[in-house]
Structures are given as C-alpha cells and as structure tokens.
Amino acid sequence: VIWFCVVNTLSTGLIWYWKHVHHWDLTVAASGHTYTAALMSFLLVTRLKINYDDYMKHAQNLNGLFQNGRDLVATLCLLTANDDSPRAKQWRQDVTYATILLVRACMAVVEFKSHAQHPAQLPELMAEQE
C-alpha cells in the first residue's frame, strides 16, 4: 500500500510542477470530476453487490451444512434407537462429535480472516488428535 501512496504523491507533485513551472495544465475540469464521481459510485455499488451476493451464497451454504448435520444426527439416532448397547451408544456419540467438529472446522474457515487461526490448529481438533 505504501508504494501506491508514494506513486500517487509523486504523480501529484509532478502534475503540480508542470502546471506551475512549465504552465502545462494537466488537471481535469469540473465536468470531468462529475463524470468520474458517477463512474466511481457505479463501480463501488457494483462491487458491494457482488460481495454481498457472495456473502449471502456462503451463508446459505453454511445454513445447509448446519441443517444437514442436524438431520444426519437425528436420522442415525432414529435408525439405531432400538440398540441400547454401549457400542451403539459410542458409535452415535462418535458420529455426532465428528459432525460437530466438521461444522466447527467450516466455521473456522469462514472466521480465518478475523481470528487468524488456521482450521487445522483448532483446540478441538488438536485434542481429538491426541
């Protein structure tokens, strides 16, 4: 970013120098600023709409992940409800916990920019590996 600031400052200084020393007017007229402002506002709104649409698409995908995980756990509990053995209970618990970890890892991917924690380094996953 600093290089963009340096280039912008140098170009502004060069335009000022040419205008005041060599009397070459490279500045833009007021009508040009109006056109540029309208163009920039259009581009800004377009970019924001693209970002918002992407956000909503990813939010819907995460919502689908949560619903499918819940349905998976509910279905496996329903289909194995008649088996009360310790092995069946442990299997239901393992599948449920793995589903929760999957959802947590997906949320860590989404939160990576704000939390700067790699999904593979989650405390929940680290405890599972030990």
Give the tens place of pLDDT for each residue, 6-54. 999 999 999 889 888 888 887 777 777 788 889 899 999 999 999 999 9
- Range with the poorest average pLDDT among 9-13, 46-50, 103-107, 113-117: 113-117
Question: What is the pTM assigned to this prediction?
Answer: 0.58
| Residue 113: pLDDT over 80 | no
- What is the tens place of the pLDDT at every residue in 53-85? 998 998 899 999 999 999 999 999 999 999 999
pLDDT range class, residue 129, cuts 50, 70, 90: low
**Tokens read off for 19:** 């205008």
Task: Report d(CA 87, CA 51) in Å as an integer.
Answer: 47
Q: Using CA atoms, how far apart are residues 64 and 61, in angstroms rounded to an integer?
A: 5
Confidence bin at 128 (pLDDT 50/70/90)? low
Residues 6+ apart with CB under 8 A from 106: 62, 65
Q: Where are the domains of the chain?
A: 1-127
Phi, psi of 122 (to 5 degrees): -65, 140
